[in-house]
A and B are shown apart, each in its own frame.
Chain A
Amino acid sequence: MHSFLRDNKIEVRMAVVLLAICLALSLLTDSFFTLVNLTSLLNNNAINLIWAVGLLVVLIAGGIDISFAVASSVVQYVGVQILFSLDGGNWVLGLTICAIIGIGLGLINMILIHTFRVVTIVITIATYNAFFGLLMFFTRGRSIYDLPDWLTDRIFIFEHELADGSWAELNLSVGVMIVCVIATWILIRRTNLGRQLYAFGDNPEGARRAGVNVAAMQALAFGWMGMMAGIAGLMQVNIVQEVVPNALFGRELDVLAAVVLGGARLGGGKGSILGCVIGVMFVAVTQNGLNLLGVSPFAFQMIIGAAILVAISTSNLNFSDLFKFRREAAK
């Protein structure tokens, strides 16, 4: 327990803040700590969390990815077109196709980064523009509304009628999210590959000399991110019941902020699933809480931005140093 606290300083600190916010919200509002609200919180953030765990793997490996939200849009469009050509398909086929297209897009990033030794942020910004531009060009910005029935059907993995007649329910995306989170946890914490991933992110040259296959590590990280982007893309279609080419555009930076807030280090080698979940939930709960408190929705982003700024400033500052400095100055 003690070593857990020591090794996961940022996670623990964020968890305490998150719990404090949750506690305050349960006391201040009647509606926060209800089953309906908690389930809708999960429903609304499933896609973000699927992206977040994918991004976490890339960050651990020392990379960064800006193109994942756009990649999800590409997967949606291309995936649905392929499904049409297969006369509809089903869930298994849909998930497989989307995962494969996503992995393909991730590997494009990986190949460019690895072969030409370019900084990952440069390549992913370039592919972000290329993917989005090509998608909008070929689709002419048109949405697809006429989707296969299985894809737009509401599927609930949990439903419960409350005494007042309202329903608390979790939709399929939450189930998929849980699977993705657990799978990523197993990958990075319970396999040899995961340990190599951390080592590679922490010190690429050292890891290479220790016999880690650099290409395989990058392929794993970007392939995993791509797979998560593909799955998230399909789940988004299930939720909104349409394919809009520019619907996911611009959400990547918010997810990145949430993941880094949860303790993943830009630069590699550090980060945990727990922190990732806490980071995403921190943003979600803050937004939800402000909503319930009746704060104008226009103020949400401002408060979240300020909260992240405060969190960064305090989590990196070593307060004991500050006091030591003052004592010395007083002498």
Chain B
Amino acid sequence: MSKQPSKRTSVFGSDTSGLLVLLVVIAGAFSLAAPQFLTVPSLSSMGYQLPLLGFLTLAMLGPVLSGGLNLAIIYTANISGLTLAWVLLQFGGPDPGIEAFIIGVIAAIAVGMLAGAAIGAIVAYVGAHPILVSLAMMVFLRGLGEFLTRGGDISGFPDYMRVIGHGSVMGIPVPFILFLLVAVGWHILLKRTRHGFSVYMTGSNIQAAEYAGLHTKRTLVLIYAFSGLLCAIAGILMAARFNSVRVGHGEALLLITVLACFLGGVDPFGGHGRVVPVVISLFILQILSSGLNLVGANQHLATAVWGLFLIAVMMLRSHHIKILISYLRKE
């Protein structure tokens, strides 16, 4: 407490050191177990895979910080992707111009933010539980998407969209660059702005924040709208990567985003948590998944390991273990 936090610790902080050690250990173990792990193709394929889960996790992070949860993220992303696809179709032809894409992106973001803001508004002004509201929104958006697409998929996007999903700049995958930019932006928004401050205060104690004169209701609407914005980006990325839009793309990622948040040390009750450790925990999850794949295990084992991993982290963080460690140190 007495120690004055320096600029460096405020970005990386003590909570990241453990995760960084873990990251290095896991990466080291896999590079020993699989020689092809630390090669350019393997690393770049991770760079293409990570951003999708990354955007969705960042979308989950805001609501969790405010003491809620947004279970509608996947379908918000799908609906945003559908909006983009619809706009591109409206401009007709096999090769719509770049302006069609820009309009489509704006429309997708608007739809995503609207869906998020609706959740935020009901949570803030009605006082219903965020799990329930976002759950209902999830059911609604899934239904809306299925209704509009009849359960099928829309595919065939202009070639320039491939750049977003598959391109690279100086060997670094474009989606990865996008993800880092958004993560930095999200970090700045949460840590350096009035809105970010308000999010943390609302998450810690909504009543105290209200009495302190913060617009907690507006904050909640905004935080879910931002969550919707990040979902829209994820939706656009999905459309570019898979070259198709379908309701249900990425469905299995929903609970993994929650897992990534908690692995990154976010307080499930809200108020505490930062972008940097969450990003590091995303790297850990991606390395676990890719590494297990290289060693020859299947994707489902990776899912199981993610779950077991979270349980292990929660055990290590628990009160009992802390008492045990301090006891051992005294001895």
Report which A residues bind B (CB closer than 8 A). 64, 66, 112, 115-119, 121-123, 125-134, 136-137, 141, 250, 253-254, 256-257, 260, 265-267, 296, 298-306, 308-309, 312-313, 316-317
Contacts and interface: CB of A to CB of B under 8 A. Distances in A.
A128 B310 CA distance: 11
Contacts, number: 162
Contacts of B315: 112, 116
A132 B252 CA distance: 11
B310 A126 contact: yes
Contacts of A253: 71, 135, 138-139
B128 interface: yes
B130 to A, nearest CB: 9
A248 to B, nearest CB: 14
Given A115-B318, A125-B259, A306 B140 contact: yes
B133 interface: yes
Contacts of A134: 300-301, 304
B216 to A, nearest CB: 17
A313 B310 CA distance: 34
B-side interface mostly: helix
Contacts of A118: 314, 318
B139 A308 contact: yes
Interface stretch (B11-19, B142-150, B271-279): B142-150
Interface in B110-137: 122, 126-129, 131-133, 135-137
Given A122-B310, A260-B129, A305-B139, 20 more contacts: A116-B315, A116-B317, A117-B318, A122-B314, A123-B314, A125-B307, A126-B259, A126-B307, A126-B308, A126-B314, A129-B303, A131-B304, A133-B307, A136-B298, A136-B303, A253-B71, A256-B131, A260-B131, A299-B143, A317-B126
A128 B122 contact: no
Interface residues of B, number: 52
A119 B311 contact: no
Interface of B: 69, 71, 122, 126-129, 131-133, 135-144, 146-147, 150-151, 251, 255-256, 258-259, 262, 268-269, 297-298, 300-308, 310-311, 314-315, 317-321
Nearest to A301: B143
A261 to B, nearest CB: 8
